[in-house]
Structure 1
Amino acid sequence: MAQITEYKCADFDGPADIVKVYLAQQGCVRAERAVIAIAGSADNPSNIVFTNGPWGQKPLHFTAIPADRTETMNDFAAVCYSIATLGEMDCTTLIRRQSAPFFPATLLAAKDCNAKPARILTSSPAHRFVTIGPGTGLGVGMGLVTDNGQFLVVTSEGGHCAFAPDNEEELKIKQYLESENGIAVTNETFASGTGLVTAFNSICKIRDIDCAILNGSEVVAKLGNANSDIREAADRTLNLFSRTLGTCAASAVLMSNARTVFIGGGVLKKLGAHFNKATFTHAFMSNDLGKNNALLDIPVMIVDPPQPGLAGADFYLKLTA
């Protein structure tokens, strides 16, 4: 990919305005084809509603984009497509025991990707993966290679599944947010960049600590605060983030029977060593399956390339040209 440029949505009235500016900067007026990855439902390009951000809950018409053909997809569908372009050198290992992670490219290279579609698609669990990504929100998706060599992506809104408290304080946080803010508390409420802000401010509120933040990056800074109560609130926030992410990843695996987890999104990289791997791992592996607990040997990989969604949209565009 080339000519990647970042823009702030808040600086524009809608997506068409951004595309027009981008094309003008590339010396173009109109594109032959546009593939746009969207944080939300993307079934109808003429009626797109973003879940988060400055355009949230405002119907947008992507058909106004200056392109002869415009297609929209869920942002984590794009991340799932990007997994087909990756190898192990493109990822950082978070959890790995005996089983090797599944990278679709190895299988797709060995099979006929243009095989005639079957009436019934089957796929080995070993050839399935899930993607999960804490960014502004919490994206969840799934991909697989079928037994006859087809690559399939399944989108979801798994980040919006209901949050399940694990202890008394988490229950108090949930009740506070529901009663005082009137919001539905989901996994995304805590396992996301905005979720770090929500979690920290809620913890401070129920602990009667006079402190609040506006940006998730402030949580790490609060770990060095002179006030021990604030330091503890920041540490508790990071634990809540890690536990919720681990639980959500486990749910995605158990629902899909996948055998590899890929974590995208930008939050983990920003947290660095402050991401609580032990808390994530415990939450990820905890269930009542006993000796049938496949999660004990599921590799969890962090996607290193900074723009996997763009890489996935590019892969989809070439695959469907």
Structure 2
Amino acid sequence: MSVSLVGDIGGTNARFALWRDDALHAVQVFQVADYSSPEQAIGVYLDGQGIARGELQAVCLAVAGPVSGEEFRFTNSHWRINRSICCAALQVEHLLLINDFFAMALGMTHLQPHERVNVCAGEADLSRPALIIGPGTGLGVASLLRLEEGRWLAVPGEGGHVDLPVNDAREAAIRQAIAEHTGHVSADTVLSGGGLLRLYHAICSLDGHAPTLATPAAITEAALSGEPVALAVIEQFCRFLGRVAGNGVLTLGGRGGVYIVGGVVPRFSRLFLRSGFAESFADKGCMSGYFQGIPVWLVTAEFSGLLGAGVALQQALAGTSGA
């Protein structure tokens, strides 16, 4: 029985799995810092699975950044992937490199009902694009469109780097306070793990509080325990996310729904679900009515990127990839 390997590689973690029968098997997570190259980490994974070099049908690796040419260099780690070297090391003919949010978008096609939480009620129009947006190390954005015969087209972009939208004097003051330290303030500047900390310092500065929390995790923990400043930070984070997601829906005509992914929001999901996200999402003046009936989900699936890499590989081998 043919088997392929899929991977989802970030700056800190590399996730690998076998792809067989339209499903993931034997998922393992490796620390990037522990290995000199992706080929070495994959070799250790294959040895653990009892799979010899040359036995894989194909390999698909989802990587953070634009993919083109023979070589890919990771922004946040020492790893790099040379297509020819990687194929030779693994003794595989088919190597597909894809953007990580391309994979994340395709992963939405395999979600199970228990792997998403309803944020805004509605019915997805599958003839229109869906928006996938995810605060993590940075802010990822992609779109997903259903094609004929059950195929899917994912389109990654750089929507995380649009200007941060503001809607009142308070939000303008927050953006200006952040800009004094960062210069240009993109959505990614705030809607990310590091952005949570920038937002905390800006709010402390504006409101006259001495900052006492040093990490995004500490801010989240304080908010979950009811600390007022941290709660204000999380609330503002959710409102900014709503504004950016709403802009994305208008740009795409995204009545196919919105999937909120990434590692940040699920850590404070209870606060998110009762935040001003939904209000800010649809706060678009004369176009506010456009958002009626557009569903929004918070995705809790652990390995959506790996699933998407499997879908991408399956479509590529069938000659139908949109990568």
Shift of residue 318, structure 1, vs aligned partner? 2.0
Distance 1:258 1:81, change over 3 A: same
Shift of residue 206, structure 1, vs aligned partner? 4.3
CA distance in 2, matches of 1:215, 1:139: 21
User: Which runs of structure 2 are paired with 1:170-185 in the superposition (5 Å)?
Assistant: 170-180=171-181, 182-185=182-185
Residue of structure 2 equivalent to 1:311? 307
Q: Which has the higher strand share?
A: 2
Shift of residue 62, structure 1, vs aligned partner? 4.0
CA distance in 2, matches of 1:219, 1:23: 39
Shift of residue 14, structure 1, vs aligned partner? 4.2
Deviations 1:191-216 (A, max 9, x none): 22222122113322444433243432
- 1:82 pairs with 2:107: yes
- 1:40 pairs with 2:65: yes
CA distance in 1, matches of 2:36, 2:176: 36
Q: Is the 8 A contact 2:118 2:298 kept in 1?
A: yes
Q: Is the 8 A contact 2:104 2:304 kept in 1?
A: yes
Q: Is the 8 A contact 2:119 2:273 kept in 1?
A: no
Shift of residue 319, structure 1, vs aligned partner? 2.5
Instruction: Give percent identity, aligned residues only.
Output: 25
1:234 to 230, 236, 248: 230
Distance 1:47 1:87, change over 3 A: closer
Shift of residue 257, structure 1, vs aligned partner? 0.7
Q: Secondary structure at the match of 1:253?
A: helix
CA distance in 2, matches of 1:24, 1:188: 38
Give unmatched runs, 5+ long, in structure 2.
1-23, 318-323
- 1:23 pairs with 2:46: yes
AA paired with 2:268?
L
Q: Is the 8 A contact 1:190 1:240 kept in 2?
A: no
CA distance in 2, matches of 1:319, 1:249: 28
Distance 1:62 1:276, change over 3 A: farther
Shift of residue 186, structure 1, vs aligned partner? 1.3
Distance 1:35 1:213, change over 3 A: farther
Residue of structure 2 equivalent to 1:221? 221
Give unmatched runs, 5+ long, in structure 1.
105-123
Distance 1:133 1:224, change over 3 A: closer
2:80 to 60, 83, 87: 60
User: Which runs of structure 2 are paired with 1:1-321 in the superposition (5 Å)?
Assistant: 1-28=24-51, 30=53, 31-44=56-69, 46-50=71-75, 54-55=76-77, 60-63=80-83, 64-65=85-86, 66-67=89-90, 68=92, 69-86=94-111, 88-96=113-121, 99-101=122-124, 124-125=127-128, 128-146=129-147, 150-180=151-181, 182-223=182-223, 231-259=227-255, 260-275=257-272, 277-290=274-287, 293-321=289-317
Q: What TM-score do the two structures reach when normalised by structure 2? A: 0.78
CA distance in 2, matches of 1:136, 1:12: 21
Count of residue pairs brought into register by the alignment: 286
Q: Is the 8 A contact 2:138 2:188 kept in 1?
A: yes
Q: Secondary structure at the match of 2:232?
A: helix
Q: Is the 8 A contact 2:136 2:192 kept in 1?
A: yes
